[in-house]
Amino acid sequence: MLEVSGLSVAFKAGLALRGAALTLAKGERLGIAGESGSGKTLLGLSLLGMAPEAAHVTGSVQFDGQELVGAPETALRSLRGQRIAMVFQEPLSALNPLRRVGDLIAEPLRLHRGLSRAAALDRAAALLAEVGLPDPTARLRQYPHEMSGGQRQRVTIALALACDPDLLIADEPTTALDVQVAAHILDLLRDLSTRRRMALILISHDLRAIARVTDRLAILYGGDIVEQGPTADVLAAPRHPYTQGLIAARPVLSASRDRRQPLPTIPGNVPALADLPPGCRFSGRCPVELPHCHSTRPTGNPACHREAT
Amino acid sequence: MLLSIENVHRRYALPRTHLFRAPPVIPAVQGISLTLDRGEILGIVGESGSGKSTLARMVMGFERPDRGRVWLNGQDSATLPRAARRQTQMVFQDPYDSLDPRRSIGWSVAEPLLATSMTTTERHARAADRLARVGLSPADMARYPHEFSGGQRQRIAIARAIAPDPALLVADEPVAALDVSVQAQVLNLLMDLNRTMGLAMLFISHDLAVVASIADRIAVMQHGRIVETGPTAQIVAAPEHPYTQALFAAA
Ligand SMILES: Nc1ncnc2c1ncn2[C@@H]1O[C@H](COP(=O)(O)OP(=O)(O)OP(=O)(O)O)[C@@H](O)[C@H]1O
Ligand SMILES: Nc1ncnc2c1ncn2[C@@H]1O[C@H](COP(=O)(O)OP(=O)(O)O)[C@@H](O)[C@H]1O
Ligand code: SF4
Ligand SMILES: [Mg+2]
Ligand SMILES: [Mg+2]
C-alpha cells in the first residue's frame, strides 16, 4: 500500500533524511524510533507531503500506486483528509480552542462525506465512544481546554478516524501523557488498527511504546534508517551499534541492579545537521568504530561496516 | 536526619461554580509522612495529579502545608532563615524554569551565591567548578541557554542547583523531557553527585523504572497519599499494593 524509496530531505545546512526506504502493507503497524533530531518527524511529514517550506524533498513515496512526491497540493489535501490521517504530540495545538469538540469532528464529515449537521454529530458521538471517551454525547458540547491531556488526545484520534483513513501516522502521540494514560492510548491505537484494518506508523523515541503497538520497527539516526525488522527481533537482538546503545540505555526494572553502577549510555549528543559525518552518521559516537566509518557510508540492513566484515 | 515530613496536608480551592455553593476543593496532598537521611536518595513515584509536585513545593518552602510540618535539619522549614534555605535546591522538568534565557549560563549558575559572603572572584570560580562537575566546560560560561541541547541545559540547571553546596536536592521529573540516551547520562550525573558530594535527593518521577534505577528507597503516591514505601530492591522484587503492581504493568 505504501512504498517509500530513496526519500531524501535537504535543508541549507545539510541532508536531514538520506534515501529512506520503507514499505507498509494494509493493516500493518510500523514503528519509527530514534533520538530527537534524528529525523522522525520530518520523515512522517514528508510521507504526507507536509515537509517544511525550507525543505527540498526528493525520491519517491507511492501510496496505492499514486506518487506523492511532487504531487499537486489539491491531490495531497484530499488524500490527507480522507485516506491518510495524522496525530501529533501536543493535542491542544491540533484542536481549535474556540470550537466545540463535536463541531471539530463533524466538520470533515460534512466536507468530505456530505453528511448533514445532525448526522455528522451522531457520527462524531459514535467516534468518541469508539476511542473510549465516557459520555460521548455530552462531550460533543465541551471545548478542548475542558478536558484532560489524555481525553484531548482521544479527541484528536477520533478526529483522525473521522473519514476512515487507510493509514494513520502518529508522531509521539503519548509523549506528553503520563504512563497509564499513555498505555491506554497505545492499546487503543493498536486495537483500532486491527479492527479497521488500518495501517499505522507510530513515531516515538520510547521503545516501550513501540514494542507495545507495532509489528515492524525502523531505527532512524542522523537521517538514516540504520536498521529495520520485526519489532520483537530488533528489540531482542539489535544488530546495529546505535540500536544496541539505545536499548541498553533504557532503564529497566530489575531487583538485582547494583545502583552504585552507572547506567550504560551513548556518549555525546546527536550532532547538528551541518556537523553530521559524511559516512556513517553514528561515527564519532560509536563504540566499535572502524577507520573508514567516518568517510564511507555503510549500506545494507543493518547499515554498518562491522556487519560486512 | 536531614528531612522529616510530618503528616502534611494541602488542599486547593477551585473557582466557585455556583454563587451559593462552596467552591470545589482538590485534596492534593492528604497526610504524608516521610524521612530522608543525609546522602540518601528517596524516590517518589505516582501518576499525574497524585500530588508529587505539591509535596515538592512544600519541602522547598514555596508553599505552606495546611496541616503538618516539614523539618529540615531539625528546623521548621516554614520559619527557616534565608541562609539555611540554600541548603535545599530544586531542579525541574523544564530547565528553563531555573535558567533565564537572557542571561549567560555563568551568571545563572553563580546567581544563587549572590546573597552569600562570597566575593565575585570566588563566585566565578565556584560556577566554573560546578559546570566542570556536570560535564560542561568553564569556557561555556559566556554562552546562553539556547545554544545548548536539552540534556546540556538540564546539566546547567543542575550545576546551578549545586552551586551553594546544598545538602538536599529536590528533583521534580528531571529527565522526563529528555531522550532515553540522554536520560541515562543525567541519571548517572545525579548518582555521581550523590556519591561525591554526599548530596541527598528527593527524586520525583512518574516512571517506576527511572526511579528504581537511582533511588535507595521508593515511596509510591496515589491520590495525595503514600500507598507503599520501602527499599528499592524490595519494592521491585515484591510490590505489595495493587497500585504499585499496576505501575509495574505499565512499565
Ligand atoms: N495551584 C493549584 N491550584 C489548584 N489545583 C492545583 C494547584 N496545584 C496543584 N493542583 C491540583 O492538585 C493535584 C496534585 O497536583 P500535583 O501538581 O502535585 O500533581 P503531580 O503528581 O505533580 O502530577 P504530574 O505528574 O502531572 O506533575 C492535581 O489535582 C492538581 O490539579
Ligand atoms: N524547518 C527546518 N529547517 C532546518 N532544519 C530542520 C527543519 N526541520 C527539521 N530540521 C532538522 O532536521 C533534523 C530532523 O528533525 P526532526 O525530524 O524534527 O527530528 P525528530 O522528529 O526525530 O526529533 C534535525 O537536525 C532538525 O534540526
Ligand atoms: S558503520 Fe562504523 S561507526 Fe557506523 S555503526 Fe558501524 S561500526 Fe559504528
Ligand atoms: Mg519529532
Ligand atoms: Mg508534577
Residue B16's pLDDT is: 64
pLDDT under 50: residue ranges of chain B? none
Beta strands in chain B (DSSP E): 3-13, 25-36, 41-46, 67-72, 75-76, 88-91, 168-172, 200-205, 217-222, 225-231
What is the average pLDDT value for chain A, to the nearest integer? 90
Query: Contact A259/B236, CB-based, under 8 Å?
Result: no
Give yes or no for a contact between B170 and B52, defined as CB atoms under 8 angstroms apart. Answer: no
Instruction: Provide, rounded to the nearest whole percent, the portion of chain A with pLDDT above 90.
Output: 59
- A249 in contact with chain B, both atoms CB, cutoff 8 A: yes
Residues A162 and A108: their CA atoms lie apart, in Å, by 7
Count contacts between A and B (CB, < 8 Å): 89
Query: Contact A257/B195, CB-based, under 8 Å?
Result: no
Task: Give Cβ neighbours of residue B51 (< 8 Å, ≥ 6 apart).
Answer: B10, B28, B29, B30, B32, B221, B223, B224
Residue A252's pLDDT is: 82
Residues A273 and A268: their CA atoms lie apart, in Å, by 15
**Using 50, 70 and 90 to split pLDDT, how confident is the model at A92?**
low
Q: Look at chain B and count its residues.
A: 251
Mutate to test the pocket of ligand 1, among B11, B47, B50 (most ligand atoms within 8 A of CB): B50
Query: Contact A266/B188, CB-based, under 8 Å?
Result: no
- Residue B234: left if φ>0, alpha if ψ -120 to 50, beta else—which one? alpha
Residue A199's pLDDT is: 96
User: Ligand 1 within 6 A of B45 CB?
Assistant: no
**Using 50, 70 and 90 to split pLDDT, how confident is the model at A179?**
confident
Give yes or no for a contact between A221 and A38, defined as CB atoms under 8 angstroms apart. Answer: yes
Give yes or no for a contact between A38 and A223, defined as CB atoms under 8 angstroms apart. Answer: yes
* Whether residue A149 has pLDDT greater than 80: no
Number of Cβ within a 10 Å radius of residue A66? 11
Side-chain half-sphere exposure of A261, counting CA atoms within 13 A: 7
Alpha helices in chain A (DSSP H): 40-47, 73-82, 91-94, 101-113, 117-130, 136-139, 149-161, 179-196, 207-213, 231-236, 241-249, 305-308
Residue B54's pLDDT is: 92
pLDDT digits 0-9 by tens, A33-80: 998 888 998 999 999 888 888 999 999 999 999 999 999 999 998 888
Q: Please give the model's pTM, rounded to 2 decimal places.
A: 0.83
Give A172's contacts in chain B (Cβ within 8 Å): none
Query: Contact A253/B209, CB-based, under 8 Å?
Result: yes
Residue B115's pLDDT is: 86
* Whether residue A244 has pLDDT greater than 90: yes
Query: Contact B206/A35, CB-based, under 8 Å?
Result: no
Using the structure block, give the residue that is written with the C-alpha cell 490521517: A85
User: Ligand 1 within 6 A of B54 CB?
Assistant: yes
- Looking at the domain B42-62+82-250, which fold is it? Rossmann fold (3.40.50)
Residue A253's pLDDT is: 83
pLDDT digits 0-9 by tens, A268-292: 878 888 899 999 999 999 999 999 9
Distance (Å) of CA A252 to CA A35, A264, B193, B207, B212: 18, 11, 22, 10, 8
Ligand 1 atom nearest B13 alpha carbon:
4
Interface of B with A (CB under 8 A): 47-48, 149-152, 179-185, 187-188, 191-192, 195, 206-210, 212-216, 232-233, 236-237, 246-248, 250-251
* Whether residue A234 has pLDDT greater than 60: yes
Give A252's contacts in chain B (Cβ within 8 Å): 209
Closest CA to B138 of B149, B128, B130: B128
Nearest listed ligand to the Cα of residue B47 = 1
- A145 in contact with chain B, both atoms CB, cutoff 8 A: no
pLDDT digits 0-9 by tens, A183-199: 888 999 999 999 989 99
The structural domains of chain A, with segments of one domain joined by +, span 89-162
ipTM of the complex: 0.82
**Using 50, 70 and 90 to split pLDDT, how confident is the model at A118?**
very high
Closest CA to A261 of B192, B37, B237: B192
CA of A298 to the centre of ligand 3 (A): 8
Sign of the alpha-carbon dihedral angle for A197, A203, A204, A207: positive
Q: Which one of B181, B191, B248 has the shortest CB-CB distance to A35?
A: B181
Residue A181's pLDDT is: 75
DSSP A135: S
Residue B229's pLDDT is: 97
User: Which of A151, A263, A282 to mutate against chain B (most B CBs within 10 Å)?
Assistant: A263
Shortest distance between the Cα of A263 and any Cα of chain B, in A, equals: 6
Nearest listed ligand to the Cα of residue A289 = 3
User: Ligand 3 within 6 A of A306 CB?
Assistant: yes
Give B248's contacts in chain A (Cβ within 8 Å): 253
DSSP B22: P
Q: And the C-alpha cell for B159?
A: 550545576
**Using 50, 70 and 90 to split pLDDT, how confident is the model at A306?**
very high
Residue B194's pLDDT is: 96
User: Ligand 2 within 6 A of A54 CB?
Assistant: yes
Burial environment of residue B142 by CB neighbours within 10 A (0 to 12, 13 to 18, 19 or more):
exposed
